[in-house]
Amino acid sequence: MPNEMDEEAPSQDAKDFIKALQIVIEARSTENAQQMAEAQSTTAGVVEGLRRILRQRRLPKCCDPVIIKGFLIAQDLSNSDELDLSWMQLSPAQVLKVVRGVLHDNSFKLSSLNISGNSDITVGTLSEIFKLPEASKLKRLYLFGCSKVEDIKRGDMASRIGMNEGAEAFNSYFPADLSEFRPWMAKSRSGKPRPRV
């Protein structure tokens, strides 16, 4: 996670976005959030402001239209094949809404999803994502630092959450028995270590 002390000061566009979003948060109005989302300009300042806020705290549900529109803008500006939600304080429902919104937009050619650093992501959340018809495009899923799925073996993850064949999921799984990473250390049936080949 980036160190806040190392970050540059926010741009004026980002400050303006944060200030407007704060008014929506205080009003707790989905209608205000929808109006803000519709009025958002496609600028890097919007993306910067949204990312700065979401790295610090989770936004209430009323802000979902702004969050979704912000990530649509981010994807449009980045022209990347990865949807990067890493280290964002998003609820599982918000992650699902953003992924659905971005995948539904056919102008993006996504093949990768990064949700690293979200401690609320579960196998259930991931299964919901991969039930979306558009999720078949995703070939790579990054889940580093997602504590509720870090104990699942990398090879088992894709099938447990319904990813397509050939797709890969990467997480922080580290086995207690290192033989999974070093097969030559695994004991044979006789109980003696296997010889190194």
Name the band, by pLDDT with cuts 50, 70 and 90, for residue 5: very low
- DSSP character string of 88-115: ----HHHHHHHHHHHHH-TT----EEE-
Q: Which amino acid is at 153?
A: K
Residue 162's beta-bridge partner residues? none
- Cβ 159 vs Cβ 151: under 8 Å: no
> For 161-173, what is each residue's pLDDT tens digit?
999 888 999 988 7
> For 84-110, what is each residue's pLDDT tens digit?
999 999 999 999 999 999 999 888 889
> Residue 132 class from Cβ within 10 Å (0-12 exposed, 13-18 middle, 19+ buried)?
middle
Q: How many CA atoms lie within 13 A of 173 on its CB side?
A: 17
Q: Strand 112-114: give its sheet, edge to edge.
A: 82-84, 112-114, 140-143, 168-171
194 pLDDT more than 70: no
